[in-house]
A = this chain, B = another copy of it.
Amino acid sequence: MKKFKVGLLGMGNVGTGAYKTLEMNRELIASRVGADIDITKILELDVKRKRDVNVSPDQFTQNPDDILTDPEIDIVIELLGGIEPATGFMLKAMENGKHVVTANKAAIAADFDKLVGTAEKRRVMFRFEGSVGGGIPILNALTKPLLANEYTEVLGILNGTTNYILTQMAENGSPYAQALSDAQAKGFAEADPTADVEGHDVANKLSILISLVFGARVHPNDIPTEGITKISMADIEAAAKAGSKIKLIAAAKRENGALEYSVKPTLIPFSHPLAGVSNEFNAIFVKGNAVGELMFYGRGAGPLPTGSAVIGDVIEIVRALRGDGR
């Protein structure tokens, strides 16, 4: 059976989730794509960390070129996070003819044109389903089966940490600080939660959505962004009395030719499908001029849901390489 070799940059939580997804479904995936997919090399400093996967010490390297320039590697998965060195590594992999998969929203949002442009120039595939909505296959939907539509609006709950906090405040009456430390204890929030609670993580994701939905480049720094740190229990209670929930909503729409976008806490009526999206779940709502309203709902983060998206991208690449993308 034909073998495809994959190099993995970064084996933190998400990298381990991607590895685990491939490991637990190896035979099923091989039967579906008609090829073996192996993660043969891993760039990672922390070799000793306990991970719940079968990985041998000689798969690890601390030299990125062992992956980026290895002629045997077909596909590079980048899961380092942050803009550099991640973008530089992805560009180098593309320059060396490798297809690239990432879930790194910060790098894509900052360097979209460079990454997409280099992939086109080098005629390699560049996929990043896991960067928005975790395991929800929203980018695939927007860029493939919905292409018969003119999009008019996209909005959603794109961050599990803040949605968990807002849900706990509304449903259990936990004040902000307590809900945040609860989220940290459950692993839904990082020790430094700034990027999540201030809305920067969501702005990165909205920037990516705007690129795909409206074909316009808006740098995340140029998106008016307000987080949830100023939401009080009084705000939550007032919303409930008015028949609404407060959700951190990323939204973009085109109206009379002008593109409007923002990230901010927003009142969502109980009757709207987004009101039922609780805790760490995410949902993306899109409007097209033929299909009308669609909503995609699922786990917006976590090692295995993001692993599903990352390995799904690898599978799509392998199927296209085998001429089986139909």
Contacts and interface: CB of A to CB of B under 8 A. Distances in A.
A198 to B, nearest CB: 27
Given A140-B144, A147-B312, A148-B315, A297 B294 contact: yes
A224 B309 CA distance: 34
Interface string A265-295: 0000000010111000000000011111111
A228 to B, nearest CB: 23
Contacts of A299: 291-293
A141 to B, nearest CB: 5
Contacts of A326: 125, 317, 320, 325
A316 interface: yes
Contacts of A309: 145, 291
A311 interface: yes
Interface stretch (A17-25, A40-48, A61-69): A17-25
Interface stretch (A2-10, A82-90, A129-137): A129-137
This protein's copies in its complex: 2
Contacts of A33: 147
Contact of A148 (B29, B148, B276): B29
Nearest to A31: B215
A297 to B, nearest CB: 4
Contact of A140 (B145, B292, B314): B145
A219 B22 CA distance: 32
Contacts of A22: 148
A135 B291 contact: yes
A291 B297 contact: no
B28 A150 contact: yes
Given A145-B313, A290-B311, 15 more contacts: A17-B290, A25-B148, A32-B147, A135-B294, A137-B145, A140-B141, A147-B312, A148-B311, A276-B276, A290-B308, A292-B299, A292-B302, A293-B299, A320-B325, A325-B326
The 4 A-B residue pairs whose C-beta atoms are closest, nearest first, are A137-B145, A148-B311, A135-B291, A291-B308
